[in-house]
Amino acid sequence: IVREYPHDAKAFTQGLLYHGNNTLYESTGLHGESSVREVDLQTGEVWILEKDWHFGKTSNLFLRFGDGFVNSSRFLQVIWQTNKGYLYDEKTLSLLGTFKHPMTDGWGLTHDNKHIIGSDGSSTLYFLDPHNFAEIRRITVKDNGEAVELLNELEYVKGEIWANVWQMNSIARISPKDGRVVGWIVLDALR
């Protein structure tokens, strides 16, 4: 551990982006409590909180659960247990619209500057067109020939896809070419 920062302990973080100038953008989940927020990294203070009608506590959308989050000229957020997502303005976090994706469930998002890459809680990663969210291709993630299930939030780091595995203290380092796990980051010491 190099450094620790304050954070809202009630925020069930699903996606996190560092955006420079000590600014974090965070997608949080929990039924009726999901949000998108801009946060001061140093203090943990929430500067902008988007928790509006589309997650609405009083509407039929109550069951929406914000999940994966990515910046690809605008912020994209997928919704758990649906094939839907939200588009947000990068500066104000105002809702710009919605989109549908081919995944049966929205868990995690990242991008490689060509594609949006998504996970659905299975061993599959989806490569999507960033303009219309159509599926370009998909890969199955395997470690020594065995499928790695429960792939959650994603990051694209130095030519690899990094995926945390739900309920494990590990991050799989994945080849975007063939889905092969090229290494693991074990984080048991953080517990």
- Domains of the chain: total: 1
Is 2 within the bounds of a domain?
A: no
Is 57 within the bounds of a domain?
A: yes
Q: What is the mean pLDDT of residues 120-149?
A: 97
Nearest to 171 by CA among 106, 157, 6: 157
Phi, psi of 60 (to 5 degrees): -70, -10
Nearest to 126 by CA among 85, 187, 167: 85
Whole domain around residue 123: which residue ranges?
Answer: 12-190
Is 91 within the bounds of a domain?
A: yes
Work out the number of other CB atoms within 10 angstroms of the CB of residue 99: 17
Q: Render pLDDT for 136-186 as a digit per residue (tens, 0 to 9).
A: 999 999 999 999 999 999 999 999 999 999 999 999 999 999 999 999 999
Q: Render pLDDT for 80-105 as a digit per residue (tens, 0 to 9).
A: 888 988 888 888 888 888 899 999 89
Please provide the average confidence, as pLDDT, over all residues in the chain: 86
Q: Render pLDDT for 3-19 as a digit per residue (tens, 0 to 9).
A: 899 999 988 888 888 88
For the domain that residue 149 is a member of, what is the CATH number?
2.130.10.10
Is 3 within the bounds of a domain?
A: no
